[in-house]
Structure 1
Amino acid sequence: GSQVAVKKLSLQSNQGNREFVNEITIITGIQHRNLVRLKGYCVEADERLLVYEFLNKGSLDRALFSNNLLLPLFLLLTKLKIPSAGSGSNVVLDWHSRFQIAIGIARGLAYLHEESHVQIIHRDIKASNILLDDKLQPKISDFGISKLFDLDKGFGFTSTKVAGTL
Protein backbone atom coordinates (compact mmCIF):
# COMPACT_ATOMS: atom_id res chain seq x y z
CA GLY A 1 0.00 0.00 0.00
CA SER A 2 0.93 3.63 -0.25
CA GLN A 3 1.00 6.25 2.47
CA VAL A 4 -1.66 8.95 2.48
CA ALA A 5 -2.34 12.10 4.49
CA VAL A 6 -5.78 12.49 6.03
CA LYS A 7 -7.22 15.91 6.78
CA LYS A 8 -10.15 15.95 9.22
CA LEU A 9 -12.35 19.00 8.90
CA SER A 10 -14.14 20.61 11.78
CA LEU A 11 -17.85 20.97 11.30
CA GLN A 12 -18.29 23.12 14.39
CA SER A 13 -19.11 26.01 12.08
CA ASN A 14 -21.02 26.19 8.83
CA GLN A 15 -17.81 27.47 7.23
CA GLY A 16 -16.14 24.07 7.86
CA ASN A 17 -18.71 22.28 5.71
CA ARG A 18 -18.51 25.00 3.01
CA GLU A 19 -14.71 24.68 2.91
CA PHE A 20 -14.96 20.88 2.68
CA VAL A 21 -17.34 20.99 -0.29
CA ASN A 22 -15.32 23.80 -1.90
CA GLU A 23 -12.05 21.88 -1.59
CA ILE A 24 -13.53 18.72 -3.13
CA THR A 25 -15.19 20.68 -5.95
CA ILE A 26 -12.02 22.54 -6.86
CA ILE A 27 -9.29 19.93 -6.40
CA THR A 28 -11.10 17.05 -8.16
CA GLY A 29 -11.37 19.01 -11.40
CA ILE A 30 -7.70 19.96 -11.74
CA GLN A 31 -4.38 18.14 -11.98
CA HIS A 32 -0.86 19.55 -12.08
CA ARG A 33 2.51 18.40 -10.78
CA ASN A 34 2.64 21.38 -8.39
CA LEU A 35 -0.80 20.82 -6.86
CA VAL A 36 -1.47 18.27 -4.13
CA ARG A 37 -3.52 15.28 -5.33
CA LEU A 38 -6.76 14.39 -3.63
CA LYS A 39 -7.00 10.58 -3.48
CA GLY A 40 -10.48 10.47 -1.98
CA TYR A 41 -12.82 11.75 0.68
CA CYS A 42 -15.24 10.41 3.26
CA VAL A 43 -18.57 11.81 4.43
CA GLU A 44 -20.13 9.74 7.17
CA ALA A 45 -22.46 11.15 9.82
CA ASP A 46 -20.60 14.20 11.20
CA GLU A 47 -17.19 13.09 9.89
CA ARG A 48 -15.58 14.90 6.94
CA LEU A 49 -12.23 13.52 5.81
CA LEU A 50 -10.04 14.41 2.83
CA VAL A 51 -7.43 11.84 1.75
CA TYR A 52 -4.36 13.26 -0.01
CA GLU A 53 -1.13 11.92 -1.38
CA PHE A 54 1.51 11.84 1.36
CA LEU A 55 4.36 14.31 0.89
CA ASN A 56 7.19 13.14 3.11
CA LYS A 57 9.20 16.36 3.42
CA GLY A 58 6.34 18.23 5.07
CA SER A 59 5.48 21.87 4.59
CA LEU A 60 7.67 24.68 3.33
CA ASP A 61 7.22 26.59 6.59
CA ARG A 62 8.86 23.66 8.38
CA ALA A 63 11.79 24.04 6.00
CA LEU A 64 12.03 27.79 6.56
CA PHE A 65 11.38 27.95 10.31
CA SER A 66 12.88 25.97 13.15
CA ASN A 67 10.64 25.29 16.16
CA ASN A 68 8.37 28.13 14.97
CA LEU A 69 11.23 30.62 15.38
CA LEU A 70 12.61 32.57 12.44
CA LEU A 71 16.03 31.24 11.52
CA PRO A 72 18.85 33.75 11.88
CA LEU A 73 19.50 35.81 8.78
CA PHE A 74 22.94 34.31 8.22
CA LEU A 75 21.38 30.85 7.86
CA LEU A 76 18.90 32.17 5.33
CA LEU A 77 21.76 33.73 3.38
CA THR A 78 23.77 30.51 3.33
CA LYS A 79 21.70 27.34 3.52
CA LEU A 80 19.04 25.70 5.66
CA LYS A 81 19.16 22.23 7.14
CA ILE A 82 15.77 20.57 7.24
CA PRO A 83 15.19 17.54 9.43
CA SER A 84 14.05 14.79 7.09
CA ALA A 85 10.71 13.22 7.99
CA GLY A 86 11.22 9.82 9.59
CA SER A 87 15.02 9.88 9.58
CA GLY A 88 17.84 11.45 11.52
CA SER A 89 19.54 12.90 8.44
CA ASN A 90 19.24 16.50 7.29
CA VAL A 91 18.31 17.79 3.86
CA VAL A 92 20.18 20.87 2.72
CA LEU A 93 17.98 23.48 1.10
CA ASP A 94 20.53 25.44 -0.93
CA TRP A 95 19.87 28.40 -3.21
CA HIS A 96 19.25 26.17 -6.23
CA SER A 97 16.68 24.11 -4.30
CA ARG A 98 14.94 27.24 -3.03
CA PHE A 99 14.85 28.68 -6.54
CA GLN A 100 13.35 25.45 -7.91
CA ILE A 101 10.73 25.50 -5.13
CA ALA A 102 9.80 29.10 -6.01
CA ILE A 103 9.56 28.18 -9.72
CA GLY A 104 7.35 25.19 -8.88
CA ILE A 105 5.01 27.34 -6.80
CA ALA A 106 4.83 29.88 -9.63
CA ARG A 107 4.02 27.10 -12.13
CA GLY A 108 1.24 25.82 -9.89
CA LEU A 109 -0.22 29.32 -9.56
CA ALA A 110 0.07 29.95 -13.31
CA TYR A 111 -1.86 26.74 -13.90
CA LEU A 112 -4.59 27.75 -11.43
CA HIS A 113 -4.88 31.29 -12.80
CA GLU A 114 -4.43 30.78 -16.53
CA GLU A 115 -3.98 27.20 -17.76
CA SER A 116 -6.72 25.22 -16.02
CA HIS A 117 -10.12 24.74 -17.70
CA VAL A 118 -11.50 26.89 -14.84
CA GLN A 119 -9.60 29.78 -13.32
CA ILE A 120 -8.99 29.43 -9.58
CA ILE A 121 -7.88 32.02 -7.05
CA HIS A 122 -6.32 30.18 -4.10
CA ARG A 123 -6.59 33.07 -1.59
CA ASP A 124 -4.37 31.44 1.06
CA ILE A 125 -0.89 30.97 -0.38
CA LYS A 126 1.63 30.73 2.46
CA ALA A 127 4.54 28.49 3.38
CA SER A 128 2.41 26.13 5.49
CA ASN A 129 0.16 25.46 2.45
CA ILE A 130 3.10 24.45 0.27
CA LEU A 131 4.07 20.79 0.73
CA LEU A 132 7.34 19.20 -0.41
CA ASP A 133 7.82 15.70 -1.81
CA ASP A 134 10.96 13.56 -1.52
CA LYS A 135 12.57 15.48 -4.41
CA LEU A 136 11.63 18.86 -2.84
CA GLN A 137 9.02 19.38 -5.56
CA PRO A 138 6.52 21.91 -4.13
CA LYS A 139 2.79 21.22 -4.20
CA ILE A 140 0.14 23.80 -3.38
CA SER A 141 -2.44 22.54 -0.88
CA ASP A 142 -5.50 23.68 1.10
CA PHE A 143 -8.10 24.87 -1.38
CA GLY A 144 -10.79 25.41 1.27
CA ILE A 145 -11.24 29.15 0.70
CA SER A 146 -10.35 29.19 -3.00
CA LYS A 147 -12.66 30.83 -5.51
CA LEU A 148 -13.57 29.77 -9.03
CA PHE A 149 -13.48 32.65 -11.50
CA ASP A 150 -15.75 32.67 -14.52
CA LEU A 151 -13.88 34.38 -17.36
CA ASP A 152 -17.09 34.62 -19.40
CA LYS A 153 -18.44 37.08 -16.85
CA GLY A 154 -15.39 39.32 -17.20
CA PHE A 155 -13.23 40.93 -14.57
CA GLY A 156 -16.01 42.91 -12.89
CA PHE A 157 -15.69 40.96 -9.63
CA THR A 158 -14.39 43.00 -6.73
CA SER A 159 -14.15 41.77 -3.17
CA THR A 160 -13.43 43.90 -0.15
CA LYS A 161 -13.57 40.86 2.12
CA VAL A 162 -10.24 39.80 3.63
CA ALA A 163 -9.38 36.14 2.99
CA GLY A 164 -6.61 33.83 4.11
CA THR A 165 -5.23 32.52 7.37
CA LEU A 166 -2.20 33.13 9.51
Structure 2
Amino acid sequence: MITRRPLLLAALASPLGTARAADAEALLRSGGVVIAFRHALAPGTFDPPGFKLGECSTQRNLSDEGRAQARRIGEWFEQRSLKPQRVRSSPWCRCVDTATLAFGTPEVDATLGSPRGYSEATNAESLRALRRSLAAAAKRPGQFEVWVTHMFVLSALTGEGSSSGEGPVLRPRSNGEPEVLARLLVG
Protein backbone atom coordinates (compact mmCIF):
# COMPACT_ATOMS: atom_id res chain seq x y z
CA MET A 1 0.00 0.00 0.00
CA ILE A 2 1.29 3.46 -0.88
CA THR A 3 1.03 5.96 1.92
CA ARG A 4 -0.13 9.31 0.59
CA ARG A 5 1.84 12.23 1.96
CA PRO A 6 2.53 15.63 0.50
CA LEU A 7 5.28 15.52 -2.10
CA LEU A 8 5.65 11.74 -2.09
CA LEU A 9 7.69 10.17 -4.85
CA ALA A 10 5.52 7.10 -5.27
CA ALA A 11 6.48 3.87 -6.96
CA LEU A 12 3.81 2.13 -8.96
CA ALA A 13 2.93 -1.41 -9.85
CA SER A 14 6.02 -3.56 -9.20
CA PRO A 15 9.44 -3.81 -7.57
CA LEU A 16 10.89 -2.72 -10.93
CA GLY A 17 8.57 0.31 -10.75
CA THR A 18 9.97 1.10 -7.31
CA ALA A 19 13.53 1.25 -8.59
CA ARG A 20 12.45 3.26 -11.63
CA ALA A 21 10.55 5.85 -9.58
CA ALA A 22 13.51 6.35 -7.26
CA ASP A 23 15.59 7.31 -10.29
CA ALA A 24 13.22 10.02 -11.62
CA GLU A 25 14.95 12.93 -9.89
CA ALA A 26 18.42 11.80 -10.98
CA LEU A 27 17.24 11.38 -14.58
CA LEU A 28 15.75 14.89 -14.61
CA ARG A 29 18.97 16.33 -13.19
CA SER A 30 21.12 14.63 -15.80
CA GLY A 31 18.77 15.83 -18.54
CA GLY A 32 18.23 14.69 -22.06
CA VAL A 33 14.75 13.49 -21.08
CA VAL A 34 11.11 14.51 -21.17
CA ILE A 35 8.71 13.99 -18.29
CA ALA A 36 5.29 13.63 -19.91
CA PHE A 37 2.51 14.09 -17.37
CA ARG A 38 -1.03 12.94 -17.81
CA HIS A 39 -3.17 15.89 -16.71
CA ALA A 40 -4.19 16.00 -13.04
CA LEU A 41 -7.50 14.63 -11.76
CA ALA A 42 -10.48 15.59 -13.92
CA PRO A 43 -13.62 13.60 -13.05
CA GLY A 44 -15.37 11.56 -15.71
CA THR A 45 -14.26 10.20 -19.03
CA PHE A 46 -14.11 11.99 -22.35
CA ASP A 47 -15.40 15.48 -23.04
CA PRO A 48 -19.12 16.21 -23.31
CA PRO A 49 -20.68 16.17 -26.79
CA GLY A 50 -20.14 19.49 -28.54
CA PHE A 51 -17.07 20.47 -26.51
CA LYS A 52 -14.92 23.24 -27.97
CA LEU A 53 -11.23 23.86 -27.56
CA GLY A 54 -10.67 27.25 -25.99
CA GLU A 55 -13.99 27.09 -24.14
CA CYS A 56 -13.31 25.45 -20.81
CA SER A 57 -16.98 25.48 -19.82
CA THR A 58 -17.63 22.91 -22.59
CA GLN A 59 -14.84 20.51 -21.50
CA ARG A 60 -14.09 18.11 -18.68
CA ASN A 61 -11.99 20.12 -16.22
CA LEU A 62 -9.82 19.62 -13.16
CA SER A 63 -11.56 19.00 -9.87
CA ASP A 64 -10.47 20.76 -6.68
CA GLU A 65 -8.38 17.67 -5.93
CA GLY A 66 -6.88 17.86 -9.44
CA ARG A 67 -5.91 21.50 -8.97
CA ALA A 68 -4.27 20.61 -5.62
CA GLN A 69 -2.48 17.70 -7.29
CA ALA A 70 -1.09 20.00 -10.00
CA ARG A 71 0.17 22.43 -7.35
CA ARG A 72 1.89 19.56 -5.49
CA ILE A 73 3.67 18.56 -8.70
CA GLY A 74 5.02 22.09 -9.00
CA GLU A 75 6.06 22.11 -5.33
CA TRP A 76 7.94 18.83 -5.80
CA PHE A 77 9.98 20.35 -8.63
CA GLU A 78 10.49 23.65 -6.79
CA GLN A 79 11.69 21.96 -3.59
CA ARG A 80 14.31 20.11 -5.61
CA SER A 81 15.30 23.18 -7.64
CA LEU A 82 14.39 21.32 -10.84
CA LYS A 83 13.53 23.81 -13.56
CA PRO A 84 12.30 22.52 -16.93
CA GLN A 85 13.92 24.02 -20.00
CA ARG A 86 10.49 24.01 -21.66
CA VAL A 87 6.88 23.27 -20.63
CA ARG A 88 4.43 22.25 -23.34
CA SER A 89 0.73 21.42 -22.97
CA SER A 90 -2.15 20.00 -24.93
CA PRO A 91 -4.67 22.75 -25.78
CA TRP A 92 -7.37 21.08 -23.63
CA CYS A 93 -8.13 23.16 -20.54
CA ARG A 94 -7.41 20.37 -18.04
CA CYS A 95 -3.88 20.05 -19.46
CA VAL A 96 -3.22 23.79 -19.68
CA ASP A 97 -4.50 24.19 -16.11
CA THR A 98 -2.31 21.34 -14.84
CA ALA A 99 0.77 22.84 -16.51
CA THR A 100 -0.02 26.37 -15.35
CA LEU A 101 -0.65 25.40 -11.73
CA ALA A 102 2.53 23.29 -11.61
CA PHE A 103 4.99 25.29 -13.73
CA GLY A 104 3.48 28.57 -14.94
CA THR A 105 2.17 29.41 -18.39
CA PRO A 106 3.01 26.60 -20.86
CA GLU A 107 3.50 26.59 -24.61
CA VAL A 108 0.26 25.20 -26.03
CA ASP A 109 1.07 22.45 -28.51
CA ALA A 110 -1.60 20.71 -30.61
CA THR A 111 0.63 17.62 -31.03
CA LEU A 112 -0.05 16.86 -27.35
CA GLY A 113 -3.84 17.13 -27.88
CA SER A 114 -6.30 14.35 -27.27
CA PRO A 115 -6.67 11.99 -30.23
CA ARG A 116 -10.44 12.22 -29.65
CA GLY A 117 -10.35 15.71 -31.13
CA TYR A 118 -8.40 14.97 -34.32
CA SER A 119 -8.37 12.70 -37.39
CA GLU A 120 -6.29 9.50 -37.58
CA ALA A 121 -3.90 11.15 -40.03
CA THR A 122 -3.41 14.12 -37.71
CA ASN A 123 -2.87 11.78 -34.75
CA ALA A 124 -0.24 9.79 -36.65
CA GLU A 125 1.60 13.00 -37.60
CA SER A 126 1.36 14.23 -33.99
CA LEU A 127 3.02 11.03 -32.74
CA ARG A 128 5.80 11.41 -35.30
CA ALA A 129 6.28 15.04 -34.22
CA LEU A 130 6.40 14.02 -30.54
CA ARG A 131 9.04 11.39 -31.30
CA ARG A 132 11.10 14.04 -33.11
CA SER A 133 10.70 16.41 -30.14
CA LEU A 134 11.79 13.64 -27.77
CA ALA A 135 14.87 12.98 -29.93
CA ALA A 136 15.72 16.71 -29.86
CA ALA A 137 15.32 16.83 -26.06
CA ALA A 138 17.62 13.81 -25.71
CA LYS A 139 20.43 15.88 -27.24
CA ARG A 140 20.32 18.44 -24.41
CA PRO A 141 22.22 17.05 -21.41
CA GLY A 142 21.51 18.87 -18.19
CA GLN A 143 18.09 20.00 -19.42
CA PHE A 144 14.66 18.39 -19.46
CA GLU A 145 11.23 19.23 -20.83
CA VAL A 146 7.79 18.83 -19.29
CA TRP A 147 4.85 17.81 -21.45
CA VAL A 148 1.27 17.74 -20.15
CA THR A 149 -1.07 15.59 -22.20
CA HIS A 150 -3.72 12.86 -22.10
CA MET A 151 -3.84 9.16 -21.26
CA PHE A 152 -4.49 8.27 -24.92
CA VAL A 153 -1.46 10.21 -26.15
CA LEU A 154 0.82 8.64 -23.53
CA SER A 155 -0.54 5.19 -24.32
CA ALA A 156 0.03 5.66 -28.07
CA LEU A 157 3.51 7.04 -27.42
CA THR A 158 4.73 4.50 -24.85
CA GLY A 159 2.38 1.52 -25.07
CA GLU A 160 1.73 1.92 -21.34
CA GLY A 161 -1.11 3.35 -19.28
CA SER A 162 -0.80 6.20 -16.81
CA SER A 163 -2.65 7.63 -13.84
CA SER A 164 -3.89 11.18 -13.52
CA GLY A 165 -0.96 13.40 -12.57
CA GLU A 166 1.61 10.68 -13.31
CA GLY A 167 4.70 11.57 -15.32
CA PRO A 168 6.68 8.91 -17.14
CA VAL A 169 10.28 10.03 -17.75
CA LEU A 170 11.05 9.36 -21.42
CA ARG A 171 14.11 9.06 -23.62
CA PRO A 172 14.22 7.64 -27.16
CA ARG A 173 15.61 4.17 -27.82
CA SER A 174 18.07 3.73 -30.68
CA ASN A 175 15.11 3.04 -33.01
CA GLY A 176 13.47 6.35 -31.99
CA GLU A 177 10.67 4.74 -29.97
CA PRO A 178 10.13 6.25 -26.51
CA GLU A 179 11.41 4.31 -23.52
CA VAL A 180 9.92 4.81 -20.05
CA LEU A 181 12.90 5.14 -17.70
CA ALA A 182 10.99 6.05 -14.54
CA ARG A 183 7.59 7.25 -13.37
CA LEU A 184 6.84 10.14 -11.07
CA LEU A 185 3.59 10.34 -9.14
CA VAL A 186 3.51 13.12 -6.58
CA GLY A 187 0.93 12.29 -3.92
TM-score surpassing 0.5? no
Q: Greater Rg, structure 1 or structure 2?
A: 1
Q: Which has the higher strand share?
A: 1
Q: Which has the higher contact order (CA 8 A, sep 6+)?
A: 2
Question: What TM-score do the two structures reach when normalised by structure 2?
Answer: 0.31
